[in-house]
Structure 1
Amino acid sequence: MPHSPEEKKRAITRLRRIRGQADALERSIAEGSECGPVLQQLAAMRGAVNGLMADVLEGHLRESFGHADCEVASLNDPTHAHVHETIDEVASLVRSYLR
């Protein structure tokens, strides 16, 4: 769940874009559009939803395991650095699967 104002704003912007894509898809289907363009719209929506899901998941990982509120002194701790590197790797892996 996005918690910071910036994350919420970014998520809401993405949701509004997805809503616009869904509305356009509904109009295309109602108008009897060809399958090719409809499939393109569906793929674009799927990509947008997957991107949003990846962002929310990454935020969740960072919030749950990244200790975002940790003290500055702990930033030099090798364990702390390893946790953040692992989160980066997992987020990258998830994004690659959602493409």
Structure 2
Amino acid sequence: MHGYASSTEQYLTRLRRIEGQVRGLQRMVSEGEYCIDILTQVAAVQSAIDSVALGLVQDHLGHCVVQAAKESDEAGAAKVAEATQAIARLVKC
């Protein structure tokens, strides 16, 4: 079972909302909205995605890493390394 399993519906709701925001961005571009207004909405989408990512990281650390650490030091270290790599991908610009 994954760390986010108890929050699956909340994540899906948030992702659907983000999907709607992206569709709104497409509409704004197709209708020729003002650049700054579009950029403001892009920032909102980025923030929403970051929020989902942070929640998933928290769930992973609180469940998957903790469970692996209970199994063995090696399993715990492997999960920490995996999480570190995932976080590095998230913060890469």
The alignment's TM-score, normalised by the length of structure 2, stands at 0.67
- Gapped runs of 5+ residues in structure 1? 71-93
* Higher helix residue share: 2
Q: Deviations over 1:36-94 (max 9, x none)?
A: 10000000000000000000111001112334xx8xxxxxxxxxxxxxxxxxxxxxxx8
Runs of 4+ in 1 over 3 A off after TM superposition: none
The alignment's TM-score, normalised by the length of structure 1, stands at 0.63
Q: Deviations over 1:7-36 (max 9, x none)?
A: 001100110110110010000000011111
- Gapped runs of 5+ residues in structure 2? 71-86
SS of the aligned residue for 1:13 comes to: helix
In angstroms, what is the RMSD of aligned CA positions?
A: 2.0
The alignment of Structure 1 onto Structure 2 pairs a total of residues equal to 69
Cα separation, 1, equivalents of 2:65 and 2:37: 42
Larger Rg: 1
> Identity across aligned pairs (percent)?
31
The match for 1:45 is 45
